[in-house]
Amino acid sequence: MTTAVYPGSFDPITLGHLDVARRARGLFDEVILAVGANSSKSYLFDSRQRLDLARLALQEAGVGGLRAEPMDGLLVDFCAEHGAAAIVKGLRGGADFDVEQPMALMNRHLSGVETVFLLADPALAHVASSLVKDVARHAGRIDDLVPAHVAAALASRAAPASTPAPTKEI
């Protein structure tokens, strides 16, 4: 059985992430979404919430052989622990490749594990977690960018703060 690891912070998981996961599953017997953290990022959802949102999204997707697991530490150590033959990364454009290439080379250098790049579906290439969160913060429509349960979680977490009523001067 061939296993691949699809790493990310998934803050939150989007329809673009799910598309890459489904297509990766067509190439590998099992795909594990490794829900990790990047120390240089700040998150809207904590690690447990991100994992729970990803697990429910995969369950609702109804595709066997996909699961989400928490990841701490180096990706290559996670891959070794789970017997992964490859790392999967989705690319929306050239800028993503510029960021991902050195990581792929370092992971191969450290462990021999190859990275497989999947191009984003053009209909979803504009979908990024950071943009989704920004739209949600401004009460914009995101129901066509994320699963329904993620949209609900974002609505409760990222809603703009209510503006206090102006005070009257006496």
Residue 121 buriedness (CB in 10 A; 0-12 / 13-18 / 19+)? middle
Catalytic residue selected from 25, 50, 89, 92: 92
Catalytic residue selected from 9, 25, 50, 129: 129
Query: Is 129 considered catalytic here?
Result: yes
Sheet strands (E) in 111-157: 114-119
Query: Is 89 considered catalytic here?
Result: no
Query: Is 17 considered catalytic here?
Result: yes
The helix, strand and coil proportions of the chain, stated in percent and rounded to the nearest 5, come to: 40, 20, 40
For residue 101, the SS3 value is: helix
Q: Which two tokens stand for residue 21?
A: 């996961």
Starting at the edge strand found earlier in the chain, the sheet holding 3-8 runs 66-70, 30-35, 3-8, 84-91, 114-119
Kind and range of the H or E element at 31? strand 30-35
Catalytic residue selected from 9, 17, 50, 89: 17
User: Which residues are part of the catalytic machinery?
Assistant: 17, 41, 92, 129
